[in-house]
Structure 1
Amino acid sequence: MNPPKLLLVEDAPEIRLLVGRGLMQAGYQVIEACNGLEALKLWPIHRPDLVLMDVCMPEMDGFTASARLRELDPEGDCPIMMLTGSDDLASIERAFELGATDFITKPINLCLLKQRVRYALRGAERERELRHARSLQESARQLAGLCYWEYDPYAQQVNWLNAPTFLEAYIAKPPVHLAGVIEWVVPEERARFEAIIVDSLKTGQAFDLEVRCESQGRPCVLKMMGQKHKLTRRLIGAIQDLTPLRSLESQADYLSHHDVLTGLPNRKLFLVGLEASLEQRAAQQQLWVLVIQIQRLHQISDVLGVAATDQLLMLFAQQLQKCAGPFGQVARLEGSSFALCCTTAHLSEEAAKQQLKEQLKPLLRQWSLAEQDLILSLKVGASCAPDQGSQAYDLLRFAQRALRAQEASSQMTLAIYQPGEIDQLAQRLSLESELRRAVEQEAFTLAYQPQLNLEQGRVVGVESLLRWQHPEKGWISPTVFIPLLEELGLIHHLGEWVMQHACWQLSQWQQQGVCSADQPLRMGINLSPMQFAQPDLAEQLVRAVSQHQIQPRQIKLEITESVAMQDPQASIALLHQLRELGFQIAIDDFGIGFSSLEYLLRFPLDSLKIDRAFVKDITRGRRDRAIIKSLTSLCQGLNIATIAEGVENQRQRDYVDALGVTEIQGYLLSQPLSADDFVAWWSAFQA
């Protein structure tokens, strides 16, 4: 912290030298001036914390200089201490009138001067803090729409303790008598108001009530709060303007028809407005309903945070309203989805698409949030009246179907609903129903993909992968049905089935001689985000290995980087618990998330799986090789094995081997195999 700066204004060099050195020894920074004129030049440059001002000086005396300094410092933040040989009362009074804070007579006692300076600086600091606190209180009062009052029952007068500026909108002059206040209240509430005031004066009870007031046709709603002061026996209290809050027809009604964040109409109100627009549509016009969805909004939220995402949605809503124009209607449907209703002349489908895209083009601008610039990607579904329907609900539903049926292929993709197109929503609902039946019937299988230790040259483990063969549609991709299982809350039951079945299969292989104590085989089990959050996960795993008589160290639990980082502290605690029980831990798909490498490696890990995205171009991309080399070097130092996923050819194997990877997994070894096929493959591999 910098020492306080003192401006010493003294024409006598010997006094300047004596006083300046003494104050510098006391720890102050001293700036010297030989007269008042020089002091005025130095003051704005150095902004001293205190001024020591001699009275009698050439060119400009101390009295004149003090008055000029106070013009430069109207708040009086800087104390001025007068140094004078005069001890007459007139000189002292004049010094204080011109803005001096204190004075000390000559000859100067340095010890006394240091103490007076210290106290003056302390007093100035207290004054600044008090003024700041008062400023904050006044700002808070104005923001809250408050003013304070006091009622003297003996004089029957109301005193307003600060200017009630907000009341000027409702009454020319605030009443100064209780009778005037009562007359200001609307007639039907006067008796209640007067009874409460009288009761508070008698009993001392505090009161808090809302009253409606009116003066010259200007109504308002005020909140009156007060209580009797025990010593003065006066009522003291506050009054707050609630008129803006009560001006809405009903807060509940407003919230039920509007989005809280953006203030836009919600789906319910949009449909009401859309019905009205359909009735008013001119015969030569087409009425369009657009559903606009911001892509990857959840990823933006993960990176920038909820507050920045909310700000983006508010800015997007404002821009969309501008795109709609004065006659369009805009709504926020849910999350990242918005709706727009507008009209055009009769156009061909292609011409309509171009015109609608042009209308929405301002939404593709650059958005600056949290010191980052974003360009959004949008999907738009559209439907048209009268060509595709004449009911508001149907048009909105058709636009949503058009949105869901398309794949994003550019910064903004727009699709118009086609009545004969495949309804993907109906397909999804059908798939959900079939998936529920499959879970009930346990109509799933596990496939096993081998993992090879490069140094030992032998298969040391397999990763178990969930598979579902639909009776009519064939094999369904896990990327399709696993997210559905999580959404439907079915992953818990199926996850426990996977644990049990994987442990059972490992025990079967042990009996068949595929693995033994000399050549153990490790079973990898993937844990979904919802499984990882289950409080009884450890109990399920212990139950599975005990039931099938295998050792916990033969099970490697694989979680993705994003799952581990959802709640890092809780993840660390759970992983330590599982590790202490004997289970091995692996982080899957490493390197494609947003987490900190340093933080992630605080997890108790046995293996780190390098995502196939880094292996795919390892033979061509120096960047990918550098990343893998860094990871393997770090893991070797931490005694963590590395597993490269997606190794498909010999050159990729050679590269990852040279870079220090411990194990590989991929189509170079084998695709995922059924249990019987794995035994056959293993036998051939051993031979």
Structure 2
Amino acid sequence: MPDRGAVAALKSVPIDMPLPVDARLGQLERQLARERKARQAAEAIAEAGLRALYESKRSLALLQRITDRANDSDTLTDAVAFAQAEICAEMGWDFANAYLVFSMMEAVPCDCWHVANPSHMMPFIHASRTTTFQRGVGLPGRVLANPQAHWIPDVRADENFARREVAIACHIVAGCAFPVMARGEVVAICEFFSRKAVEASEPLIEILAQIGIQLGRVAERETARETLLRDAQHDPLTTLPNRVLLHERASSAFKRLGPDRCGLAVLVIDLDGFKAVNDKLGHDAGDVLLVATAARLRDAIDGTVGGESVSRALGSERYAGLERARRTRATLARTGGDEFVVLLENVTDDALPRAVAEALQAELALPFSIGRDEVAIGASIGIAQSNPTYGDYDAVQRDADLAMYEAKAAGRAMTVTFTETMGTVVRQRMALERDLRGAITENQFVLHYQSIVDLKSGLIKGFEALVRWQHPQRGLVPPGDFIPTAEGTGLIVFIGDWVLREACHAIARLHARMTWGKIDPPFVSVNIAPQQFLQPDFVPYLRTVVMETGVPARCLKLEVTEGVAVLDADRTRRVLEECRDIGVRVALDDFGTGYSSLSYLHSLPFDIIKIDRAFVAVMDQPKSLKIVHTILDLAINLGLRVVAEGIETAEQQAALTALGCEMGQGFWLSVPMEEARAFALLA
């Protein structure tokens, strides 16, 4: 304690008097202590700043490395795996694990994890790789419920840590987790654990959040790529696999077949009546119908391949086969406008494809409600099953297509299974169609002419033009061998147009080189198929042919069957009236063989009827003779001219003449001949 008197004496000393040495030393020591303390504080601040700067640089470097890898990664799991290893190495975590998130409701382990020393942590690793967490449950569940970084300083004391017991056994202490965000949603969760305490800090939490954002961009790219791929492989209307995805899946399935190449089946489904619905109600209604059809097909397939429908179709005695069928995998695809395909893999019961087809037919047999309308459609289904003769999936698909076309030709709601015999027949027909197209291009057709004779006088009144095919290998092919195929493929329109023009040219040439005087020049009669007759431009084409060839319109007769009326009676009436306006007359061919010949004769303006050869051939029978007599009386009353076809004997000619039949044709009178020989008969 300083002496008070000395202090008082010191205060009384003048200011300019120097202090004692001891006092000055004490003053300096105190000043040095203050400066030392200030310097130490400044150094501490500087060190802390440098340390923070260093940590910040390390964190930024970590973020940069993870960002660079994320930019180069094709998959989220690849980027996450890299991030796990980097974060563990940089921050000292012992174990990292990842989860994928579905519908923001649960976190599912994706087997993407990293561990520095697994020997002491395998029980905890196993629990983390096999546990799914619901929203709000456990560390991943917390991130789902509140998408941000979550920190657990001591998992041993956390009541909401689902793996606490195994964590304690493995000496786990600290844990944290952060979300991987994409488009505002959690798509994945990364969690980290340490066997020692790890303090949380705002910079650390912020850097983890940034890492989650960078990883989320990988998820966004992956989702976008998957979306593009899905759009490229799926039908946008029905969301079903399209032709591309079906072919990939089917080709892969075919390659997995055993040496016997059995176990794969293809069902090709083509809707019956869909075009009519589309035309009547519009394309929007057609789209609604396609979506509804796809849903029904899915239901039928799921039920059948699942077993229940198969049981009903096959019967209880087939239960053993049914059990095997349950393992079958089915793929439904939309491959065209109204065409669907079902691919069945691992088919162990040969009856299963047929049972699936029956279930599909049953579903489509029920009417559909489209707005206020109720529509009915069906399906033509072709089935083909793999076997040792097939070398690839495309061959199976091709034969299923062939079977479907056969089903369509057989009528509505039919199912046909491909056989080798069918394949031979269909391939022959396809070859014939191919040759027919070549024949049209290369002008391989010729016309023969059969005389139409006045039965009383025996004079030739005209000729029927009959097409023949001069095949380069097969020679002269009769019409019965190719006309049905031409009609079925629509090629008859092109052939018919050529026949009409060529016949008119031929009869015009005949008229030009002979003098007829008061005798009517001969006419030419040309068969016109229904598809050709009902073409929108048929009458303009007919008018053009008449004008360009110079044939008198009265010397051209067209022969049509009642099929034109069956297809479109109103259109047929208009065309017949327009033909009359030109001066061309039309005959109803094969009269008496159709179901409604009399009805059409009454309602449509025909000029001529041709009695079918079937009645002429049996005129020696009283009943047939009466039918012919009735037809002739009907024609006379309606003011129609009559030609009898298929006159093969003198007795038939005499009987028809006696009944008052005006004209006839047949082998008895003249066989079909090439132009020069046929027209020479006029001499």
TM-score category (smaller protein)? 0.3 to 0.5
Larger Rg: 2
Q: TM-score, normalised by structure 2?
A: 0.46
Q: Which structure exhibits the higher relative contact order, with contacts defined as CA atoms closer than 8 Å and separated by 6 or more residues?
A: 2
